[in-house]
Amino acid sequence: MFEPWGVFVILIICPLLGGLPLISWITYALKRKQLSQVGTGNISVSAAFYHGGKIVGILAVLSEAFKGIAAVLITRIFFPEGSFWELVALIALVIGRYWMGRGAGTTNVVWGFVVHDPLVAVFVSFFAGIIFTILQSRKLVKFGVLLLFPLFVALLHLSDIPRIFAAVALAGLMGWIYTKIPDDMKLPAQGAQTESQAMLEFLRGDRAMVSLDEELNAAIVGEKAATLSQIKRWGYPVPKGWVLAPIDNPELSTEFLQPSELSPLVVRSSAIGEDSEHASAAGQYETVVNVTSPQALQSAIAQVQASYNHPYAVQYRRDRGLNDTAMAVLIQQQVQSVYSGVAFSRDPITQQGDAIVIEALPGSPTQVVSGKVTPEQYRAFVVETENSYSIQLEGQGRVPQSLIKQVAYLAYRLEKRYHGTPQDIEWSYDGQTLWVLQSRPITTLLPIWTRKIAAEVIPGVIHPLTWSINRPLTCGVWGEFFTLVLGDRALGLDFTKTATLHYSRAYFNASLLGDIFIRMGLPPESLEFLTRGAKLSKPSLQSTWENLPGLGKLLKRELNLEKDFKQDYHKRLIPGLSQLAQEDIDSLEPPKLLARIDFILELLRYGTYYSILAPLSAALRQAIFRVKDGQIDHSVTPEVAALRSLSAIATDAKQVLVEFEPQQVFEQLKQTPEGEKILQEFNELLQDYGYLSEVGTDISVSTWRENPQMIKQMFVQLMQGNEPQAGAKDAINSIFASKRKRSFVQRRVDIKGRVTEVYSRLLAELRWSFVALEKIWLKSGLLRQTGDIFFLNFDEVQRLVGDEDSSLIEQLDELVEFRRSQFLQDSEIIQIPVLIYGNTPPHPLAFSELYSDQILQGIGASHGQAEGRVKVLRNLQDVPDIDRDTILVVPYTDSGWAPLLLKVGGLIAEAGGRLSHGAIIAREYGIPAVMDVRGATWLLQDGQRVRIDGSRGIVELSNDLRPE
């Protein structure tokens, strides 16, 4: 049992030893620097020298040497000296060093190998020294050593096959790691600690020219060169090119490159920070074309480098708060352009829609970007389906339409490659190949705000008071989750910017969320997967490993969700709701009402936490265990339970009133004891579910208890014979038949339902408290009309209660009137953009998205097909006359919309996904539903006949019938 224990120790202890961040601790203790936040982000010996100086570097060497030696000595406790297991221990150490410690492990291996096999170490060191002295190339030395030491191991230990294989494996692992992480030695020497510069310059040596074929680091060679390198490695045509880092010797270029009349070069800037998401630096630095001789190349390099310090370039950086860094130089083969130009994957002027804007001219691209010549302008729309794509083009000129379409698709694909970040692309066509000369973010279109998720969470036009309460609660909880996973990597992220209002509607910051998910090692589309069921690509193993501690903490919370919720439910939430229910709100004075509001907000912090974690947990479990939507029982969800109860009462009422007048139902029920019992049950239902409203997350919207008219109309319509379809009953039977089998997911769905109930009750109590406060202020004359309080924000309410701000009181009427006017103006905007680019969006334009003439695409949310006539309903102010021939078209679905689905034939919604309220209710009653159909409420018209397929997410317009 001794040797197996040795193997266990090697495979467990050595990776942990390798991952121990000693270098990070030493650097932070002595220099207060987080190596993971500076330079390349590596936690390595060279990074310690670079950012910490000589003393820190020496201590870093000693700490990593100790690890390598310790791994070998630990192995000798269990195995004979010189055993191949010592190399296995070094392999395990290096794996831990890379995956957890964010370093290559070179120092660990060097010193560990010295102890393991001193003779081989001497031979390898001797030849490595000769190579570096002669060639002055760190890269050749680094990879040469990886070839030499397995070779010497094989020559000196020919009969020890396991040791030879272990040596080859160790060399291969090190080589692979070298290709995966950036080299701190490539950072500009002048940026290092002063006492380390001379040593770093010596160790760097004169390197060969860096090619665009290599994986480049933007912190070393600038965003322009790094981006072109990435695009080239993705397979797009990029002219062959080389990069001079800021401290490289320019004479290398003339030795390596031989420009001529037949092979001219172009010399371009690639400054650190240029072409980034924060600044484009467009036109700030020099570009030299038609370089045809070595002398001209030297001059061009000097000219481009000097442009970094031009007064206007320096002022540009200062205006944008950018640090002065350094200038790398990009040298490329010049394309002999037949046509060229620029393409914007999104319109930078309108800041809306899916139009790709292209400017083009015959000849060189410099004349387009110079601004001295007016180019031809085109607008293109790309519509891509699963197996094909089509392009519609607007504009005509001398440039072939086929080429413009090719450019449009290139822009479309590059934007997708960069996770939806709009791209400014410079291109050139030589008669055979469409070349990418540059791609950078359109800085004026950042950040990107998305309505897709927000429209489901906080739908409709939002009052200032609602937003001032919802935003900090929601952003705070998301920030807590993200910080939990990211740890130190959350530094610099402002979670208060997670959401904002545009056109009085809620939008989430897609740019920030994408950055967060990338830092977490998750795909940028993760949030849409969790909330809307979008497709999710797999995160890399490396990023998962790096985030394992944080993900473990998040997983712990998920696993403890049921226990934690039950504890808070019984100790905080239910007692709190009981206390609130017992208070007589109308008898409370403003200070007491404000104290009540603060108490509710404290409970809502817990409610918000669970209202986010519970749906995410349910969605993740459903995806992991592949439980179909129809196999889940949502009966705990308040709106589902309310509709079931309402349907049951309506069934009983039909037995009491065999014949009735729809307008007189409640009066007729009063005339008999049986009818009085029905009315009592109805009132009890209204009492139980009176906290629900048309928009559950908006406290400015009246609750069912305050405005029961809609529920009464639904009750009457149910009595008129609008029962759930037969398919719904089969689905419900299927649900209960499989409930036991699916309990692992079902328990989370049940928690989600209870959380929704508690959260909705708390929001209703919050609304009723503000309404009571408003009544006092209306009576005192502080406010003029009902609803005014919702045009204040919470901070202003607090100041008014405290009577601390006389200027606010003086300006109150004007302030409320201005906000009401803005709210009403925004309410009239129907065509709300799904995506908004930048922080100051213009007024929405006419809907410009392209659709097939006959088919609209969305998300299939409830199976089945249905055909009927469209009824567009943008709000619930007027309940329409609808039946099974009606296909209801709505902007979103919340609890208030649910009763309408009892009697329609199908549902189309502009927002939402498979987990939305409408989708759940539609599945509950066997109604086909298609969600996320962009622009549906104005593209479709009342009376228009459509067919919907809830499985494929298709809305098809019939040819035979048009709007009546």
Contact 500, 507 (CB under 8 A): yes
SS3 content of the chain, % helix, strand, coil (to 5): 55, 15, 30
Largest CA distance in the chain: 109
pLDDT at 728 over 50: no
Whether residue 850 has pLDDT greater than 50: no
- Three-state SS sequence of 436-477: EEEEEECHHHCCEEECCCHHHHCCCCCCHHHHHHHHHHHHHH
Running DSSP on this structure, what letter comes out for residue 82? T
Question: Structure tokens of 74?
Answer: 């630990």
* Count of C-beta atoms within a 10 Å radius of residue 4: 9
- pLDDT score for 369: 53
Buried b / exposed e over 273-307, threshold 16 CB at 10 Å, is bbbbbebbbeebbbbbeebeebebbbebbeebbeb
Question: 867 pairs with which residues across the strands?
Answer: 947
Mapped onto helix, strand or coil, the DSSP state of residue 16 is: helix
Residues 168, 532: Cα–Cα separation, whole Å: 48
Q: Which residues of 754-766 are buried (b: 16+ CB within 10 A; e: fewer)?
A: bbbbbbbbbbbbb
- For 916, the token pair is 């939305």
Instruction: Tell which wins on pLDDT, 666 or 257.
Output: 666
**Averaged pLDDT, 826-843:** 84
Give the span between the Cα atoms of 734 and 732, in whole angstroms: 5
* Closest among 886, 904, 892 to 942, alpha carbons compared: 886
Using the predicted structure, report yes or no on whether residue 732 has a pLDDT greater than 50.
Answer: no
Let me know: does 935 contact 847? Beta carbons within 8 Å: yes
* Pairwise pLDDT comparison (300 vs 860), residue with the higher score: 300
pLDDT digits (tens, 9 = 90+) for 428-464: 999 999 999 999 888 888 888 888 777 777 878 999 9
DSSP 249-266: -THHHHHH----SSS-EE
pLDDT at position 927, please?
A: 87
Q: What is the DSSP string of 120-167?
A: HHHHHHHHHHHHHHHH--HHHHHHHHHHHHHHHHHHH-TT-HHHHHHH
pLDDT tens for 754-800 read 999 999 999 999 999 999 999 999 999 999 999 999 999 999 999 99
pLDDT score of 414: 94
Residue 197 has pLDDT above 70, yes or no: no
161 CB-side CA count, 13 A:
0
Instruction: Name the DSSP class of 680.
Output: H
Give me the pLDDT at residue 412, please.
Answer: 93
Q: What is the mean pLDDT of residues 162-190?
A: 78
Q: Looking at beta carbons, which pairs linking 117-122 to residues 24 or more positions away fall under 8 Å?
A: 117/82, 117/153, 117/156, 119/156, 120/149, 120/152, 120/153, 120/156
CB 360 within 8 A of CB 339: yes
Region 170-175: mean pLDDT is: 86
Q: What is the pTM of this model?
A: 0.67
Average of per-residue pLDDT values in the chain? 82
The per-residue pLDDT for 151 is 85
Secondary structure of 310-357 in HEC code, one letter for each residue: CHHHHHHHHHCCCCCCCEEEEEEECCCCCEEEEEECCCCCCCCCCCEE
- Tens digit of each residue's pLDDT (9 = 90 or more) over 476-524: 998 998 888 888 888 888 898 999 999 999 998 888 887 887 777 666 5
Q: What is the pLDDT of residues 222-254, one digit of tens each?
A: 889 999 999 999 999 999 999 988 777 787 676
Among candidate residues 901, 918, 945, the one with its CA nearest the CA of residue 861 = 918
Q: Name the residue type at position 354.
A: D
Identify whether the C-beta of residue 212 lies closer than 8 Å to the C-beta of residue 225.
yes
Q: Using pLDDT thresholds of 50, 70 and 90, give the confidence band for residue 528.
A: low
Measured CA to CA, the distance from residue 667 to residue 659 in angstroms comes to 13
State the Cα–Cα distance between residues 134 and 111, nearest whole angstrom: 25
Single-letter code of the amino acid located at 924: E
Amino acid identity at 102: R
Indicate the range of 31-45, 330-344, 362-376 predicted with least confidence.
362-376
Q: Structure tokens of 175?
A: 């080589």
Between 541 and 222, residue with greater pLDDT: 222
194-198, 290-294, 309-313, 330-334: the lowest-pLDDT one: 194-198
For residue 779, the model assigns a pLDDT of: 95
DSSP 3-state of 382: strand
* Residue 725 in this model has a pLDDT that exceeds 60: no
Q: Which residue has the higher pLDDT, 22 or 540?
A: 22
Show the tokens assigned to 870.
Answer: 């469209």
Q: Are 251 and 347 in contact (CB under 8 A)?
A: no
Higher pLDDT, 562 or 835: 562
- What confidence tier does 471 reach under pLDDT thresholds 50, 70, 90? very high
Q: What's the full length of the chain, in residues?
A: 964
Residue 349 confidence class, pLDDT cut points 50, 70, 90: confident
Query: Taking residues 83-92, what's their average pLDDT?
Result: 90
**pLDDT bracket for residue 729 (50, 70, 90):** very low
596, with CB counted inside 10 A (0-12, 13-18, 19+), is buried
Band (pLDDT 50/70/90 cuts) for residue 466 is very high
| Cβ(691)–Cβ(894) below 8 Å | no
Q: What is the pLDDT of residue 374?
A: 75
Which residues have CB under 8 Å from 904's CB, separation 6+?
868, 871, 882, 883, 884, 886, 887, 888, 927
Say if residues 936 and 955 touch (Cβ distance below 8 Å): yes
DSSP 3-state of 691: coil
Residue pair 449/836 in contact by the 8 Å Cβ criterion: yes
Distances (CA, A) of 766 to 604, 612, 631, 696: 10, 19, 35, 12
Of all residues in the chain, the percent with pLDDT exceeding 90 is: 32
**Dihedral sign computed on CA atoms, order 304, 333, 375, 226:** negative
pLDDT of residue 591: 95
Q: What is the mean pLDDT of residues 294-306?
A: 91
pLDDT digits (tens, 9 = 90+) for 668-704: 999 999 999 999 999 999 999 999 987 878 899 999 9
- The Cα 586–Cα 81 span in angstroms is 85
**Cross-strand partners of 379:** 357, 394
